[in-house]
Amino acid sequence: MFFALDGWDGDTTPCVWLVRPDLLNERSISWRGVITPEQNPQLNIWLPRSIKNGRQRINSENYWYDNGLPVAIYPRRQNARVIAQQGTFTVHGTERRGLDDWVLSFEHPHQVLHRVDLEGIDGDVVTAQLRALGVKRHFIYPDIDNYVKHLRQVFGW
């Protein structure tokens, strides 16, 4: 929600995309969960130098890894911004289709990926509610510039 409203000008309809990373991985690597790169060297086939060499498929412990398909991962927690945002990422391989196009080929695509349009939302009210819940600019972007932007927003400076 924060990212949908951050910098929103009010002239468009903001939206939020919801992704079920476990179901995405079930479809791409036949495993229902989210992968941690540190524990899965097989994910190296998604690295840029491997992607440059073309599509690769490997079988490891009854799972197929195919770098043509997207995979959902927990990122390495080595960056303050990644730690603050607590997100998962999709890593895309050699196939050039967008995630939404690929998911449309699933039997129940809206269970995996769903767009929620925030039609008629009052951005100021929702932003204030997010702040009350602890979702603050300087927590999501932990640097001095964004702390100052947060102060300006809260105090109207």
Q: pLDDT in tens for each of the 157 residues of the chain?
A: 999 998 898 899 999 999 999 999 998 888 898 888 877 888 888 888 888 999 999 887 777 889 999 999 988 777 777 777 777 889 898 988 888 898 988 889 999 999 999 999 999 899 889 989 988 888 888 889 988 988 887 888 7
152/85 same-domain check: no
Total domain count for the chain? 2
pLDDT given at position 55: 93
3-state secondary structure of 117: strand
72/144 same-domain check: no
Residue 4 half-sphere exposure, CB side, CA atoms within 13 Å? 20
Do residues 39 and 33 lie in contact, with contact meaning Cβ atoms separated by under 8 Å?
A: no
Query: Residue type for 7, please?
Result: G
- Measure the CA angle with vertex 125, ends 124 and 127; round to 5°: 65
pLDDT given at position 154: 80
114/61 same-domain check: yes
139/91 same-domain check: no
pLDDT given at position 112: 92
> Cα dist. 87→68, 106, 113, 120 in Å?
23, 24, 16, 27
pLDDT given at position 120: 94
115/47 same-domain check: yes
pLDDT given at position 105: 86
pLDDT given at position 126: 94
Question: Which range marks the domain in which residue 60 is found?
Answer: 2-7+15-120
Do residues 27 and 106 lie in contact, with contact meaning Cβ atoms separated by under 8 Å?
A: yes
Dist. CA 46–CA 152, nearest whole Å: 41
Do residues 119 and 13 lie in contact, with contact meaning Cβ atoms separated by under 8 Å?
A: yes
Token reading at 45:
């086939």
49/25 same-domain check: yes
127/98 same-domain check: no
pLDDT given at position 132: 92
